[in-house]
Amino acid sequence: MNELRVGIIGVGSRGRTLARNMAEQYAKAKLRVVAVHDMNEHTMSTIAETVSGQFAENGAPESGVRSCADGQRLIQADDIDLVMVTTTSDGHAEYVLPALRTSKHVYCDKPLAHTVEDCVRMVEGADAAGKPVIMGFTRRYEAPWRQARELVAAGAIGELQMILIRDIIPYSRYFSGWWRKREWSGGALNDKGSHLFDVMNWFIGDLPLSAHAFGTRSISPVVAGTPSHCRLCERTCDYRQRPYDPEGFAASHELPKNHRDTCVLSGESDAYHAGSVHFRYPNDVIATYVYDFQGFKGDDQETMELIGRTGKIVLTRHVGTLEVVTDFGRARETIDCRNSGFSGSHFGADAMLIHDLRRFCDGAQPPVSAREGLAATRMVWAALTSMDAGGRVVQLAELPDATPWKPEAAVWS
């Protein structure tokens, strides 16, 4: 297998995680990071050295990983075969679009972008270039979700009628990091909910017609007089992201936008902490997403219930199981879907993503592309529009879109 050279733009937590997974699977996938770019020069140089060592430990040529001060020059570099964009969501289009105009393969992390308009631009850019973008919706790469999709497609529970997805998760970082502002992230719902909205389209095999949603910001009331960041605050707080360290804060190399410890109680975030989102699909299929991003740790943090005409499937993400009820309740089975990589990042999804990324570079179609990314972010913004309007029913046709497209139709054989 020939080696393919990778350039990563944005080496925050997601970029670092994918680089580490590529290093760990270097012998199998032969994807080697040769260059990185980040707006934070200190982070960029530090991560370049770290990633270089990770690849050396896994048998890659010891040629090192270089830092590129200009992300656009990285895209144009002759020694790059695959460009991976893992910046904050508002930077995706800035790098994906020029990368599409080269001969290189292109990966974009989720969500596709922070706005529907940027998503449309990227889909149209991919269409004009005549090549797809592979995306990082992790549920598409997790074994339990893939197996559940196979069961539904095989008709195990009859024609799908309803999807119920529940996220009660301890993600208060969404309100203290760069996700806290819609102008940067599209909101916490875009970063997390887009995963699950893509799942809905994937399982149903169609796109929703309308959305109806309610959201709340009342879970963390604004507390007057709180210091701006955790490192400047001596109070006891359940939402603390970093320890008290005023000197460390003053010496930090972080950009203000990227501070991970902005006070959750300051009221700076414009994201909805919790909400309930409902979509109506053709043939009256209903999909519901209920979330609380200031929830609690537990095995049932994220669950999905698939209701069919003759049975149901309950997926519990953190334990990797499917509870399958078939034949109108007469038959029941528990399927353990955990594979050898389940203990890894995203429950083994990132290891599978690297495998599929190599297949994509070798000519296979991506498991999920920019088209699916646009569809998910349109759903996010339909939900946010409904929330902002106190629960108004929003027709998906109200939002911008690219040329007409539908996901692969589900077959309930």
**pLDDT digits 0-9 by tens, 296-310:** 888 889 999 999 999
Mean of pLDDT over the chain = 95
pLDDT surpasses 50 at 184: yes
The CATH T-level fold of domain 4-138 is Rossmann fold (3.40.50)
> What pLDDT was estimated at residue 24?
97
State how far the Cα of 127 lies from the Cα of 121, in Å rounded to an integer: 10
> What pLDDT was estimated at residue 219?
64
- Provide the CB-side half-sphere exposure for 103 (13 A, CA): 5
Q: Contacts from 47-53 at CB under 8 Å and sequence distance 24+? A: 47/11, 47/15, 47/16, 47/19, 48/11, 50/16, 51/11, 51/16, 51/19, 51/20, 51/23
pLDDT surpasses 90 at 352: yes
> What pLDDT was estimated at residue 411?
56
Lowest mean pLDDT among 63-72, 74-83, 210-219, 356-365: 210-219
Q: Are 257 and 178 in contact (CB under 8 A)?
A: yes
Residue 187: Cβ within 10 Å count: 28
The CATH class given to the 139-220+270-398 domain equals alpha beta
Residues of the chain with CATH 3.30.360.10: 139-220+270-398
Q: What angle do CA 210, 205, 273 make, to 5 degrees?
A: 50
Q: Which residues pair with 395 in a beta bridge?
A: 210
Extract the tokens encoding 351: 């290891």
> What pLDDT was estimated at residue 413?
44
Q: What are the pLDDT digits (tens) for 245-254? A: 999 898 888 8
> What pLDDT was estimated at residue 296?
84
State how far the Cα of 311 lies from the Cα of 151, in Å rounded to an integer: 11
pLDDT surpasses 90 at 372: yes
CA-based torsion, 52, 53, 58, 63: positive or negative: positive
Question: Which pLDDT band, with edges at 50, 70 and 90, does 157 fall under?
Answer: very high
Residues of the chain with CATH 3.40.50.720: 4-138
